[in-house]
Amino acid sequence: MCHERVKQGGIPACAGACPVEAIKFGKREELVNLARERIRRHPDRYVDHLYGEHEVGGTSWLYLSGVPFARLDFPSDLPDKPLVEQTKGFLSAVPLVLVLWPAVLGMAYAANRNKEDDR
């Protein structure tokens, strides 16, 4: 549904139908600029924080709020570093393990089988 609308140059139905423009859709940089401008124009209405701009390297969703995000139960201890950077060291070893372990176990099995055949 929305994928097709966006693919054809439209916007998601929820963003188009929102009467108070609480849901916006567009390029991230434009949305960040729009949000920063809203915060600048209405400092009494918004907390001076654009949630999702830097959290875990920046998210696909950005949030403005009139109350601190902690009161909305948004996590406040997220790192600025993308999560993929925190896991890529571990994940880069997965293909190696998937290739080496079967080979090692296969050789051990073959060696053990050869010993049994020699008896």
**CB of 65 closer than 8 Å to CB of 52:** no
User: What pLDDT is attached to residue 116?
Assistant: 62
pLDDT tens-digit series, residues 30-75:
999 999 999 999 999 999 999 999 999 999 899 999 999 999 999 9
- Which three-class secondary structure state does DSSP give residue 87? helix
Quickly state the pLDDT bin for 98 (edges 50, 70, 90).
confident
Are the CB atoms for 83 and 56 separated by under 8 Å? yes
What would the mean pLDDT of 91-112 be, rounded to a whole number? 81
State yes or no: pLDDT of 101 exceeds 90: no
Give which of 36, 81, 42, 41 is closest to 62, Cα–Cα: 36
Helical (H) or strand (E) element with 38: helix 28-41
